[in-house]
Amino acid sequence: MSQHEPSAFEMSLQSSHVILDSDDSDSDDDGAMGAFDDMINSATEQRAALDSHASLCSSCCPSSSSYHRFSSPESSLALSRRRKLALNAFVTLAVVMLGTIIFLVSALASSPSTSSPPSTPTPATVESLKSQSYLPPDRRNGVVASDNALCSEMGTAIMRDHSGNAIDAAVTTTLCLGVVSMASSGIGGGAFILTHSAETQSTAFVDGREFAPSASSPTMFSGMSERASVDGALAIAVPGELKGLQAIHEGINNFGGKLSWSDCVTPVRDLARDGFVVSSFLEDITRKQWSKILKNDALTKVLSRPSSDPNSTPTPIRQGDILKRPQLANTLTMIMEEGADALYKGSLAASLSSEIISAGGILTQADLAAYSPTIRDPINATVKGYTILGAPPPSSGGATMIAAARYIAGFEEPYGANFDTLSKHRTSEAMKHAFAMRMNLADPAFYDETNDVVRDMIESDYVDSLRRNFHSDDSVQPTGNYGGEKWAQLSEGGEGGGERRKTTGLNYLEDHGTAHLSVIDSDLNCVALTTTVNTEFGSGFLSPSTGILLNNQMDDFASEGRPNYFGLAPSPLNYPEPFKRPLSSMSPSIVLYDNKPRMVLGASGGPKIITATLQTFLNHALAGQDLFLANTSPRIHDQIFYHNELTCVYSEETLLSGAVIELPSSTKASMTSRSHVMTSASYLGCCQAISVDVDGLISAVSDVRKNGEPKAY
């Protein structure tokens, strides 16, 4: 027979007996016995009063003699015993009550229950991220939507606390992103910038895109590994972001910054010097790219957790760590005092170019001195009453987005955003036609034909002819039809006639090496700015003396016989040449209605920049979704080929928060029935957008796919 195990209640009682029966029970505890002495004395005084009352009443009320038992004399020993009994009774009562509570809790915990089990943390949903990533329509004086909360706030503070305008805020926010989101952007990269002046109603485009060093050639990567144009110093093109920022700050068309250049740079210099808290995104991307980071000692030092042991194995930074960038802070101090020329013509240029050449690159000090941004007119087209202002070549984004939007808007039925299967099919077909035409684009300074392609994509009825002649609501088209007779560049599974290219051997990888920010101020001046170092951490080369992480934009040029990192087909139009700017997918966009700003948007994500920006515009402007839903709805992406297959890519995205964005199965089934080959992807671009409604209420969203957060005042 098993031995009885005492219950929690019994154990508590046994414990109380141990305390009460100990030798110390004969000696008064000062605190406890003092309290009980007060209780006994009070009771004695009350009893004396009762005895007196009894003696007064005994003669007239014999029955009151019952009080006489309280009036018998007491010895000091009896009083001491009563005090002990009172103490024991008090403590025992307290212990019994505590034991009872423990017993009941224990019994309830061990007994079957019909109530609901304890609740577990609710898994993150896209809707649960709304309060962080979305600012609903309201009266606002200024808004910055970037993919980093700290930088959004820093840009907003420039307007709120220092009376800066949208351009001042854009300069500060962009430089901030280069410090805290170095995997995506920085002054070692390039940028496309759209600015819109509310006063003059003029829009300007600044091409701060990198260009190829003077020693570049079409065959410079021939015979090398596929990573030669991606990793290391040879992949570095001449950076342009800083020159582009200075150009918009100095002013274009009488519209520039209000604050001094130093005012815009100083808070970012201080941030790099004093340090910042590592975000979940930077932790995640650092961990994923750790093997690349370890190839460069300076970059490894910046992104490693501190250790007291110099011989310890480096470990990547984590969310919540404090990261400081002192070398970059020194560089920003010089830029703050001397302007962009500190990097392009000063002592920084000498040290930077020397380090690049020593590591096997070809970028010289003369290349840096030769760089200047190009001011261009934005391209524009009207879609359902909305005027889309986009980036011209060497951006392919503006023309490709507009061509796809015009294709979709030409159908009689309204565009359906709520996963309407026909609209998704039409959107996919529009993307394929637009990407096929994109293959004919290049730097217009080198190829005049580029302007003819753009004209057909945005101005003429060529896109309308594609919809009439090369579209079916029931099925996809043969590959060679995309782009139409004039601009088709692909054939079915092999070489085509004329300039048609091979469609075999293409690769497709993911991109997080870009950042976009949208800004609007109290006067409705707007800035849409997309900046990049190309792939994650660019070339992986960080200059030890300047703290600048350099781009790998040479991979955005085509190389004969192979696609680039993003799987985009090689084109002789886009082969590297001295001072040539590679084709880009960056798509900063400003949308007007009745000549007033209605949307400011753009994205990161390689070729998915174009399709993310497109679908956010379509969902909000044409389908009427609020900006949050328009931005977070599941997307598709179709650049014709994906992993060597004619494929439409769809959302199956698990975010850092654990939330999932996925295209409904019914939509996938309907697309498959129309002969789309469907492939899931974990990342379909990251779009930051601002909207102004007809009543002047401003809303903003920073894409949940990158844990961004807009700020406003």
Q: Is position 312 annotated in a ligand binding site?
A: no
Q: Is position 556 annotated in a ligand binding site?
A: yes
- Give the chain's largest Cα–Cα span: 136
- Residue 149 to residue 162: CA distance in whole angstroms: 19
Q: Is position 534 annotated in a ligand binding site?
A: yes
From the list 450, 446, 487, the residue with the least C-alpha distance to 466 is: 487
Task: Tokens 């080929």: give the residue.
Answer: 641
647 catalytically annotated: no
Of the residues 174, 374, 514, 647, which is catalytic?
Answer: 514
- Residue 539 to residue 238: CA distance in whole angstroms: 12
Q: Is position 139 annotated in a ligand binding site?
A: no
Strands 678-681 and 374-376: unpaired
Residues 470-497: b if buried by 16+ CB within 10 A, e if exposed: bbeeeebbebbbbbbeebbbbbeeeebe
From the list 501, 483, 379, the residue with the least C-alpha distance to 432 is: 483
Instruction: Name the token pair of 33.
Output: 């016995």
Task: Tokens 């991606």: give the residue.
Answer: 230
- On the question of a cis peptide bond just before residue 394, with omega within 30 degrees of 0, the verdict is yes
Q: Is position 44 annotated in a ligand binding site?
A: no
- Residue 667 to residue 673: CA distance in whole angstroms: 10
Q: C-alpha dihedral over 348, 349, 352, 353, to 10 degrees?
A: -160
Q: Is position 254 annotated in a ligand binding site?
A: no
Q: How far is CA 31 from CA 76, 88, 436, in A?
A: 21, 15, 90
Q: C-alpha dihedral over 431, 433, 439, 444, to 10 degrees?
A: -90
- Residue 606: HSE in the Cβ half-sphere, 13 Å Cα cutoff: 20
Residue 152 near residue 143, CB atoms below 8 Å: no
- Residue 550 to residue 533: CA distance in whole angstroms: 7
Rg of the chain in Å (alpha carbons): 36
Burial-class residue 500 by CB neighbours within 10 Å (0-12, 13-18, 19+). middle
Q: Is position 584 annotated in a ligand binding site?
A: yes
- Residue 115 to residue 482: CA distance in whole angstroms: 61
**Annotated catalytic sites, by residue?**
514
Binding-site residue numbers are 209, 532-534, 556, 584-585, 606
Binding-site residue numbers for L-glutamate are 209, 532-534, 556, 584-585, 606
